[in-house]
Amino acid sequence: MNIKYYTKEILLSSIKDVTESSELIQNNGSSVIISEYGGRPLGIFPKKDCYSLLWICPNIRNKITKRDREIGGDRYWLSPERAFFFRKPKKWKKWICQEGLDPANYKIIEKNTTSCKVNSPILVENYVSNEIFRGNITRTIKLIDDPISGGIHYIGIEINEECILDKPHLKINSWNVANVISGGRYNPGTVIIPTKNGTKPISYIKDIPQEWLNVENKYTTFKIDSTKVYKLGISPENLDFSKKVKIGYFIKIPNTDNYGFLVKISDDLPKSKKECFDVPRNPKYKNNEIGIVQAYNSKSKRKSKLLYGEIELQLNPSKTIENKSHLKAKHQLLAYIGKKEEILKVLEKFLGINNFKSF
């Protein structure tokens, strides 16, 4: 069964025999579904009978059965991408997602209706240094109240990440990647990042055309329509750290009259380029620019089904403790659903934007 957008009932029915799961339940029936497979929040539902604002892969049951990593949701990776995802890193060729990192072998070790903890061993190769790293990752996910008391349908979680690897002094970051739904060419979503005046966005893979990118005085937007591959990066020097929100996502929810808004909040981001190691593939930057907040627009031969984008945070670099590298960070994912005017009010409360221009 191929599904573009999942309700909670369809998601639970699809995964019930292939992975353990945990449901976190907030007020008025809003919920988050945590998948043991892949160790992640998989579906986020700010009200009953709505679509998940996190993208979930069509035919997810088959994906899990085949141990495919591309299931969607909010996942944990390590960066830099060049070191861990390209088997020929000097030429940026032969991209691979190492199974020892994702989907790994997560187990739910604690759960109730308000929190869930998952844990997995990790085994990854650094293709630049030709080293093997072994370690462990624990993700603790708990419900949190609406920080702005928006008065509309809401659910929010806080995720505490703790990864320990068996080598000291590693120049790596935790990397949080959340898949978000898109409505395609005629119903695109809009990524919003609070930025400073004069911001110069980074085109991570290839130059982003003007029709996908807009730089305003207080924010930068990026279109998610699943028709072309582009990736945006914002450097720590251009990010407005005075805002709690580091990246948001605004979309008219397909096949409904409602709008959705996803928010990523964290204080655990690198404050300078020296603390982040994820260099762009685009040769024009010559590794001199680093994006700590990133967004990705996907494309697929099956784009009518794979309608998604990504909002991403590069998190704290590792610290050496007792001859091991420790990565520790906390971030929040908040989700809202309502009428357009209600969602724009939420956006204004978070970002101070009262004339928001979406794609």
Across the range 343-357, mean pLDDT stands at 95
pLDDT tops 60 at residue 322: yes
Whole-number pLDDT of residue 45: 98
CB-side exposure of 315: number of CA atoms within 13 Å? 28
pLDDT tops 60 at residue 282: yes
Q: How many Å separate Cα 106 from the centre of its chain?
A: 18
3-state SS assignment for residue 108: strand
pLDDT tops 80 at residue 173: yes
pLDDT tops 60 at residue 69: yes
pLDDT tens digits, 206-262: 999 999 999 999 999 999 999 999 999 999 999 999 999 999 999 999 999 999 999
Whole-number pLDDT of residue 28: 81
- The Cα 79–Cα 101 span in angstroms is 11
| Confidence band for 302, pLDDT divided at 50, 70 and 90 | low
- The Cα 243–Cα 274 span in angstroms is 22
Burial (CB count <10 Å: 0-12, 13-18, 19+), residue 230: buried
Whole-number pLDDT of residue 199: 96
| Confidence band for 100, pLDDT divided at 50, 70 and 90 | very high
Compute the chain's Rg from CA coordinates.
19
User: Please, are residues 228 and 205 in contact by the beta-carbon 8 Å criterion?
Assistant: no
Count of CB atoms situated within 10 Å of the CB of 299: 12
% of the chain beyond a pLDDT of 90: 94
Whole-number pLDDT of residue 12: 97
pLDDT tops 80 at residue 170: yes
The least confident of 14-23, 38-47, 303-312 is: 303-312
Q: Would you list the domain boundaries of the chain? A: 74-153+162-351
pLDDT tops 70 at residue 24: yes
Which of the two residues, 181 and 286, has the higher pLDDT score?
Answer: 181
Across the range 328-351, mean pLDDT stands at 97
Report phi then psi at 55, rounded to 5.
-70, 140
Q: For residue 101, give the amino acid letter.
A: L
Across the range 297-301, mean pLDDT stands at 83
Whole-number pLDDT of residue 303: 60
User: Please, are residues 19 and 60 in contact by the beta-carbon 8 Å criterion?
Assistant: no
Whole-number pLDDT of residue 2: 67
**Mean pLDDT taken over the chain:** 96
3-state SS assignment for residue 275: helix
Across the range 71-84, mean pLDDT stands at 98
Whole-number pLDDT of residue 152: 96
Burial (CB count <10 Å: 0-12, 13-18, 19+), residue 23: middle
pLDDT tops 60 at residue 352: yes
pLDDT tops 80 at residue 300: no
User: Please, are residues 241 and 195 in contact by the beta-carbon 8 Å criterion?
Assistant: no
pTM: 0.96
Instruction: Give the CA diameter of the chain.
Output: 54
